[in-house]
Amino acid sequence: MSNVRVRFAPSPTGFLHVGGVRTALFCWLFARHHGGTFILRIEDTDQARSTPEAVELILDGLRWLGLDWDEGPYYQTRRFDLYKKGVEKLLADGNAYRCYCTPEELEAQRAHALAEKRVPKYDGRCRHLEHQPERPHTVRFAAPQEGVAVVHDLIRGDVTFDNAQLDDLIIARSDGTPTYNFTVVMDDADMGITHVIRGDDHLNNTPRQAALFKALGHELPQFAHLPMIHGPDKRKLSKRDGAASVTDYREEGMLPEALVNYLARLGWSHGDQEFFTVAELIQKFSLEAVGKSPAVFDRAKLLWLNAQHLKAADPIRIMRMVEERLVRDGIAIGADVADAFRRKVFAAACERSRTVPEMADMVASFYRDTVTIDPEAAKKGFKGEPLLVLDKVMEKLAGLPAFDQPTLEQAFQELMDETGQGLGKLAQPARTALTGRQVSPGIYEVLEILGKERALARLAAAKEWIRANPAG
């Protein structure tokens, strides 16, 4: 397939939510798979609700996800001359007409149609009126009134619409500003869009837009309407279920490649494969593999995928992200942190973390000079005779010739043999003393990362804490 041109066309009236991102992603993957062009268009004709801040959120979100565009962003508010020419052409060709009906008259028509159990569409009473320049008016498209419109959808197959149910939609408001369905067609034709990939909530717009394409003398693009995303209750996705903004997921510590991977699997599949790199998605993506049924957002699956991508990521990149979190939490990070240290910390924590904030919480104690012991952790970690246990651990560690994991593991094995106690009885008090927490990376990893001097200092400080807090 050659000369593929697709567009993502968000309205900057709010945040970029997961449904919009999934649409952008499928457009982007389709373009990249076919070596085509991905165009970004900002549909900002709703000037009362569109904001520059929302535009920046969209651009930042796409950049963070790596969905780079080849053309644009184009702004509809800068293209009004094009739309005006389109309206004039339709009027000149007899494919549009001026409507002089007032809002009150339109409401009365609607109420009358509903009372008679008819489709509440405009009745076309202004179709054949002479132009009356002094009267306020809108411009309506003269839609086909008979027969059927058949739209071939690349996902759903042929979809048939009864033309008798279609309204003469307004293409220009009384102030001259164009409306959504009209500007979309004008832009898609002008930009040479070959494939319109969008959510199936736009499916009912398609016969109207197809008729406009034909009336304007343009070939139709191919259409592909993506299934909606539902929450676990099979209803419209709510923010609680995952309809958050891209910014929210970034703040939660999701990796962009993990979110891309997850959203690609919402409605599209490639066998049983779950984990994909971006390169694999580009290589394998096809509209033929997009399902017709709504996809269900599963937050647990997203977290699982994020954990897999954390493990596969470059350790230094992840640890710099972790350190940014730690700085935000008030922990000073020196400029002399070595990459070797970062790699050790990453290896210790990545198996136990699903997100960057979880990892930051897990490893914060490695970056602090001293440890604050959590009283709740102390209740469980310092049971029995913690002072005696810590004394034996300190004595054993102080005499070690090396402080690597194999040596540390051998030392604890000797302690278990000498005391008759299991690893848990020895390691848990030491873990709490070293990290202030009950949950941490493995005890040997913790000790190796801290080093002998810091480890012994923390164990000694914990003994003082226990004496000052005898209840534990």
**Looking at the annotation, which residues are catalytic?**
239
The count of C-alpha atoms lying within 13 angstroms of the C-alpha of 92, restricted to the half-sphere facing its C-beta, is 7
User: Are residues 30 and 282 in contact, defined by beta-carbon separation less than 8 angstroms?
Assistant: no
Asked if 431 and 386 touch (Cβ cutoff 8 Å), the reply is no
> Measured between alpha carbons, how far is 138 from 122 in angstroms, rounded to an integer?
13
Residue 165, classified by CB atoms within 10 Å of its CB into exposed (0-12), middle (13-18) or buried (19+), is: middle
Burial 446-470 (b: 16+ CB within 10 A, else e): bbbbbeeebbbebbeebbebbeeee
User: What would the two tokens of residue 193 be?
Assistant: 């869009």
Closest of 346, 366, 249, 343 to residue 303, by C-alpha: 249
Q: Which of 365, 377, 371, 389 is nearest to 445 (CA)?
A: 365
Instruction: Using alpha carbons only, give the angle 249, 252, 254 rounded to the nearest 5 degrees.
Output: 65
CA-to-CA distance for 265 and 268, rounded, in angstroms? 5
What distances in angstroms separate CA 136 from CA 99, 168, 344, one per listed residue? 9, 18, 73
* Alpha helices, DSSP H, located in 201-314: 206-215, 246-251, 256-264, 278-284, 299-312
Q: How many residues does the chain have?
A: 472
Alpha-carbon gap, residue 403 to 397, rounded angstroms: 8
Task: Give bridge partners of residue 198 from the DSSP assignment.
Answer: 225
Cβ atoms of 6 and 39 within 8 Å: the answer is yes
Q: Which residues pair with 99 in a beta bridge?
A: 138
In Å, the largest CA–CA distance within the chain is 105
